Each structure stands twice: as C-alpha cells, then as structure tokens.
Chains A and B, each alone.
Chain A
C-alpha cells in the first residue's frame, strides 16, 4: 500500500530555516518525480517544487534561491530545505508523487511568525 509521510514542520521566525522530509513506501520511488505542494490557511493549492528521478530540481519563482529540494533514492526520502523563511511561506506542505499526483502525504504545517 502506497504511503507518503511528511515530517519536519513547525514554528519558525522570519529568516529562519526548516527541513521537511517525506518518507515513501509502496511506490516506485526511484522511477518517479517527487513534488512539494503547499496550501496557505484557507487558500488554494500552490506548486512549490519537484525533482526528477535523476535529481534535477525545479522551483516556483517565489522560492528560488531560498528552498532546495533533494532526494535519496536508496532511502526513499525526499527533502525540502527551506531557508530565509517569510511569513508568506506559512502553509501546510504536502509531499506528492509524480507530476499528476496519485499519492499524497497528510501534510505538515509550517508556521512562520515573529
């Protein structure tokens, strides 16, 4: 059974850093893109970043230079390193498989506030 489990969210001050992790099981992890999507409170879905099976990263403009996506295919893990966090980065962050997302994690809340 496919499962994605995110961790690493929490409360952080503006300018701070967090590292999100997503542990995958039951999917062909090494063959697929992995994606991070966020949802600010009461708002819609926003694509943040994805990484190809071979490790090529892609980002939405608002996080370029601040966020870094990476993956460890041997451990079936994908990461999102978030630096220089802003109040507007506050959201639930979801990990999802592929480019059209058949599997999603439960989400992890990132709250950026002073």
Chain B
C-alpha cells in the first residue's frame, strides 16, 4: 500500500502569509496527486488535481507542484477563507489520503 505523509500536521499563520504544505508518498505516484480543502462539518473541496492543475473556480493563489514522491501545496497569500484542513491524495495505485494539515490563525 502507498502511504502519504503530510507535514506539518498543524500550521499557524496570519492573513497575507505564504503557506507551504508538503506531502510525501512512500513510492512514486507520478503526477497522480490531488489536494483538497475541508472545513468543519463540510465535505472536502477539490483544489488541485494531477499535481498542478487548478480546479475550475479555485483562486490562483493556490499552487501545486512536485512529482514522483515529493509534492507541495502553496498558498501565496493566505486569505481569511483559507483557514481549514488540507489533504493530499494519491490516485495512482488505488487511493490514499494524507493525514491532513490544519491551517489555523496565529
């Protein structure tokens, strides 16, 4: 099974900060990597798929990068609506989610 490890688990930041979340897979997943945002009591929302393709309607301050086993989600300037939990997901071989990164207010 492919394991996905996100870091950090929690990130404290302020509005306007540049935020970076890392995701590492236990084996090469190519470009088959997605990122989701989830707010309490809500279903997750797809932000990015195929490593770096922005889902329709997602603000351009979100950027995905990486390949193979190392991936990154960057929020260029954190906005109030961005405080949430973020998950990476590989879908190369079956599917696996990372454990999540909670972005909270500093």
Contacts and interface: CB of A to CB of B under 8 A. Distances in A.
Given A100-B34, A100-B89, A94 B43 contact: yes
Interface of B: 1, 32, 34, 36, 38, 43-46, 49-50, 55, 87, 89, 91, 94-100
Given A45-B89, A100-B49, A101-B36, 18 more contacts: A37-B97, A44-B97, A44-B99, A45-B97, A46-B97, A47-B94, A47-B95, A47-B96, A61-B1, A94-B43, A99-B32, A100-B32, A100-B46, A100-B50, A102-B46, A102-B55, A104-B43, A107-B43
A44 B5 CA distance: 12
A47 B87 CA distance: 12
A58 B94 contact: yes
Interface residues of A, number: 19
Contact of B43 (A44, A46, A47, A105): A105
A102 B89 CA distance: 13
Interface in A29-50: 35, 37, 44-47, 50
Given A44-B87, A44-B99, A44-B100, A101 B94 contact: no
Contact of A99 (B91, B98, B99): B91
A104 B44 CA distance: 7
A60 interface: yes
A101 B44 contact: yes
23 contacts: A35-B95, A37-B97, A44-B87, A44-B97, A44-B98, A44-B100, A45-B38, A47-B95, A47-B96, A47-B97, A58-B94, A60-B94, A61-B1, A94-B43, A100-B32, A100-B34, A100-B49, A100-B50, A100-B89, A101-B44, A102-B55, A106-B43, A107-B43
B94 to A, nearest CB: 6
Contacts of B38: 45
- What are the nearest 5 A-B pairs in CB distance? A104-B43, A47-B95, A100-B49, A100-B34, A45-B97
